[in-house]
Amino acid sequence: MKKITINDLLAWKKEGRKFASVTAYDASFGKLFEEQEMPVVLVGDSLGMVLQGKADTLDVSVEDLAYHTRSVRAGNSQSLLMTDMPFMSYATPEEACQNAATLMRAGANMVKLEGGAFLADTVRMLTERAVPVCAHLGLTPQSVNIFGGYKVQGRDHDAAEQMVKDAILLAKAGAQIILLECVPGDLAERITQAVDVPVIGIGAGNKTDGQILVMHDMFGISANYMPRFSKNYLQETGDLRTAVSRYIEEVQQGSFPGPEHTF
């Protein structure tokens, strides 16, 4: 597997070539995903739920994410490695820069932030200081207490229009990837067409440039429940490596996610 960079993702968007991505938290799975040629790997604050057994992601720290970033990078040198910035680690642009530096030094190629237009100055400051950014819109799990639960976002007209505006603004501010979680498929398609940067979806239909799944959901071993937008590839294939390769193949073909996985 050749080393994947943001330039590869940009080229694939122009070509209409879809790509897969997945979360990882340790060296062993980092290596497995590299061997299966997974282009993008995310060290997600989802570790708070799938590794630590918490009800949400809010208790995850920068130190937790730096530790797991180092672990994944030890097993995987070729995938584009994104790392989440956890709850309240980017409350100000200055804090964002300090904490992003910790994650980049741990091995991340890019950091991911949750939020809309209010993050434009933070995104601009990070990118000006050589920290690539993925902007996460839609269902942003760190805002679970604002949303009142894990609910689909952007279903009404005003919310949808605001999300389109946020995506355009954040891309102009320097975000190099937009991630959309749990939004209607037609809205995700609009945003994908509205920005020049790659758009990755999870629970956002199959019209985005890429897809991402939490690895524990993809293997059917999540402690809580199987989200509607996910698929148990391990149950379908009976083998970890075959499960990963089938996921990558179905994303590239546009057969995953299907209508049953889309809001």
> 32 with 247: CB under 8 angstroms?
no
Beta carbons within 10 angstroms of residue 223's beta carbon = 10
Q: Residue 146 has what DSSP assignment? A: H
CA-to-CA distance for 42 and 145, rounded, in angstroms?
A: 24
Is the bond leading into 86 cis (omega within 30 degrees of zero)? no
- Of the candidates 34, 114, 181, 250, the residue annotated as catalytic is 181
Supply φ then ψ for residue 216, to 5 degrees. Answer: -65, -35
Task: Tell me which H or E stretch contains 45.
Answer: none
- Output the DSSP codes for 80-131: EEEEE--TTSSSSHHHHHHHHHHHHHTT-SEEEEE-SGGGHHHHHHHHHTT-
- Angle in degrees, CA 196, 260, 213, rounded to 5: 55
Residue in 177, 148, 171, 147 with CA at minimum distance from that of residue 159: 147
181 catalytic residue (yes or no): yes
What distances in angstroms separate CA 146 from CA 128, 141, 150, one per listed residue?
A: 31, 10, 10
Question: Which positions are annotated as active-site residues?
Answer: 181
